[in-house]
Amino acid sequence: MPILILLRHGQSLWNADNLFTGWVDVPLSERGRAEATIASCKLRDYRVDVCYTSLLFRAMETAVICLTECDDICGGKTPIFKHDADDPDWHGWDRYQVDPTKELPIFPSSKLDERYYGDLQGLNKAETAAKFGQEQVQEWRRSFDVRPPGGESLEDTMNRAVPFFCDRILPHLKQGDNVLISAHGNSLRAIIMYLDRLAPEEVPGLELMTGVPIVYDIDAQGNVVHKQVLDK
């Protein structure tokens, strides 16, 4: 039975500073790199056949660390980033056909990017709560359909992440591939809403820890059979 591993990136430098990050391309902190290494150790008894990440560096960095710190996860294969040839900015410099017996493809996509926080990006969360009120900031951060000023709601994020999951990632699972998705709190919350069949009113209580793998067993029809959070 194939498995799907969801992994929120390790702590970023702006996570450590309690700042709204969104689409700002901030790398991992020292702790974040350690979290990705620990995730790799937790997943050492699993095998990954294909990986998807967002286009943001913290997610790609987490994926690479997770896939390379414990070689067993890749089954001895070399992770290779495969960029979208349909992207108008693709230059063709990575033109190379991955050998599935030797290499593990990593597909980055903007569809898996964090939600766009608009005018909040770069602001301190505590200071923003003091200015606008804790209840308002919590609604911006955790509600389903309320957008922060100039930004995306979780519903907006879901409307790009879930169709991508169904079109690009679910077929891998249905054909028996084990898949790792290294992405973000909100893009992964959207996918979890789909997988766990959660209603919008259940969203505020859905929290994801940085660097903690969530493992789903998926049947041949793409349905969830079992879910495990590797937080120990």
Mapped onto helix, strand or coil, the DSSP state of residue 215 is: strand
pLDDT at residue 83, rounded to an integer = 79
Establish whether 141 is an annotated binding residue: yes
CA 21 vs CA 7, 182, 192: distances in Å? 18, 17, 21
pLDDT tens digit sequence for 152-197: 999 999 999 999 999 999 999 999 999 999 999 999 999 999 999 9
DSSP-assigned letter for residue 10: P
Question: What stretch of H or E contains 182?
Answer: strand 179-183
Per-residue tokens: 45:
């008894």
DSSP-assigned letter for residue 18: T
pLDDT at residue 91, rounded to an integer = 67
Contact 15, 32 (CB under 8 A): yes
**pTM for the whole thing?**
0.94
Residues designated catalytic:
9, 114
| Sheet strands side by side (includes 78-81) | 78-81, 103-108, 50-53, 179-183, 3-8, 213-218, 224-229
Establish whether 62 is an annotated binding residue: no
CA 138 vs CA 182, 183, 229: distances in Å? 25, 22, 25
Establish whether 125 is an annotated binding residue: yes
Write out the chain's pLDDT in tens, 232 residues.
999 999 999 999 999 999 999 999 999 999 999 999 999 999 999 999 999 999 999 999 999 999 999 878 998 899 999 877 666 666 666 666 768 788 999 999 999 999 999 999 999 999 999 999 999 999 998 889 999 999 999 999 999 999 999 999 999 999 999 999 999 999 999 999 999 999 988 887 888 999 999 999 999 999 999 999 999 7
pLDDT at residue 31, rounded to an integer = 97
Q: Which domains are seen in the chain, by residue range?
A: 3-88+95-214+225-229 (3.40.50.1240)
At a CB cut-off of 8 Å and minimum separation 6, what does 229 contact?
212, 213, 214, 215
Establish whether 21 is an annotated binding residue: yes
